[in-house]
Structure 1
Amino acid sequence: MTRFLGVYIGAGFGLAFVLANTGPPLDPALALVLRVLAVAALVGVVALSLVLGRRPAPDGGRPGDDTPALRFGPFYGAVVAAEVVLILGGIQALRLLDAPDQANVCWIALVVGLHFFPLARYWRTREILVVALYLSVLGAAGLAMVFSGHPAWAPFVSGVLSGAGMLGGLLVSLAVPFLSGRRAAGPGATAA
């Protein structure tokens, strides 16, 4: 199941982004719906990864055995350490600039997005560049909202949309091999 470690990390952070940022100015009923959907998406990610992890591939191996494994070595550790330093240092700088509190989630989304760029190269997985660009743009957009005098919706843009995009992207990336495996098994076969 270690090949799904990155999926679990991404899903956990996606859920955290949604849960932490679904407050005002969102209507409380809409905020609750978004939180429930985020939790359901996390459950879906875990369920799909468990099914895919146990399903035998047509050649007798495991599905995804031919894909490069994500390496969590020293380079990964250095990227994550730099990410933490940038997040904490940036939040301190925002505080010194008397930026509204809403700027913090925008900065976090921007830095999290940027940290995926070197990891995409290290892991040789171009698909992660989509996440890197998506989070970076939403983080920058939120910061632009904050510094242009419109901070109220910045947590929704940089937090909720970032988290929802991460969860949705992970669900799709797991659902495609799940559904293609079911089709390959045939109409009368049962896929585990």
Structure 2
Amino acid sequence: MLQRMSGVFIGAFFGTVFVVANAHDPLNPTIGNALRVLAVLTFGGLLALALRAGRRSGPAVGVPGAPRGSWYGGKFGFVVAAEVVLLIGGNLALRGAGAPAETAVAWIALIVGLHFLALTAVWKQRSIAVPGTALTALGLTGLGMAATSAVAWVPFVSGVLSGVALLGGCAYAIAHAYRATARP
């Protein structure tokens, strides 16, 4: 369970970062600050629930359907390496093409979403496809919005909403793990 939870913590952390970094103009500052606080509180709550599930389960109990062995083997490394190359190369290409700065968060959401879709196959966990599909769609939407007068809203759509999708996916995974530890 520890390996799976480390992935969930990473996802929840980056979901929180997506919200904190992108909850700004054109949002009302009060709304932006409220979203930031909610994201941080959600992350803290997810961390507490996951730690409690870990204490309840003991060392031998894992998440039902979780793959045996390492979650972070060669295929995972390939997916992450491809993600890094696409993140850097794509952002450089967008900048070189004169795309608005807001496209960076849309590109990041798109590539992170595709990374989750690839990990769905690697880890054989269909639930990962849900946030992966959401982030991919929000990234594509943001890239499309960048060519319109709505470009200022790209950080909200591709950043804040992607963060919410990541936090929601992590909440689902942690709640599932917590329920799996319930004593009959």
What TM-score results when the alignment is normalised by the length of structure 2? 0.90
Aligned to 1:168: 168
Residues 181 and 62 of structure 1: CA distance in aligned 2, closer, same or farther (over 3 Å): closer
Structure 1: stretches of 5+ with no match in the other structure: 186-192
Aligned to 1:62: 61
Q: Measure the CA separation in 2 of the matches of 1:71 and 1:181.
A: 20
135-144 or 64-73: which moved more?
Answer: 64-73
1:4-83 paired onto structure 2 within 5 Å: 4-56=5-57, 61-64=60-63, 67-69=66-68, 71-83=71-83
Aligned to 1:129: 129
Q: Tell me the amino acid that sits aligned with residue 122 of structure 2.
A: Y
Asked if the contact 2:19/2:163 (under 8 Å) is kept, the reply is yes
Asked if the contact 2:11/2:167 (under 8 Å) is kept, the reply is yes
Instruction: Report the alpha carbon displacement of residue 68 of structure 1 after superposing the two structures with TM.
Output: 2.0
Asked if the contact 1:22/1:34 (under 8 Å) is kept, the reply is yes
Q: Tell me the amino acid that sits aligned with residue 172 of structure 1.
A: Y
Instruction: Report the alpha carbon displacement of residue 63 of structure 1 after superposing the two structures with TM.
Output: 4.7
Instruction: Report the alpha carbon displacement of residue 176 of structure 1 after superposing the two structures with TM.
Output: 4.4
SS in 2 for 1:45: helix
SS in 1 for 2:57: coil
After superposition, the C-alpha distances for 1:57-110 in whole angstroms (9 at most, x for unaligned) are: 8xx942526532561012111111111111111111111111110000000000
Q: Measure the CA separation in 2 of the matches of 1:73 and 1:181.
A: 26
What TM-score results when the alignment is normalised by the length of structure 1? 0.87
Larger Rg: 1
Asked if the contact 1:106/1:139 (under 8 Å) is kept, the reply is yes
Structure 2: stretches of 5+ with no match in the other structure: none
Runs of 4+ in 1 over 4 A off after TM superposition: 179-182
Q: Measure the CA separation in 2 of the matches of 1:139 and 1:9.
A: 19
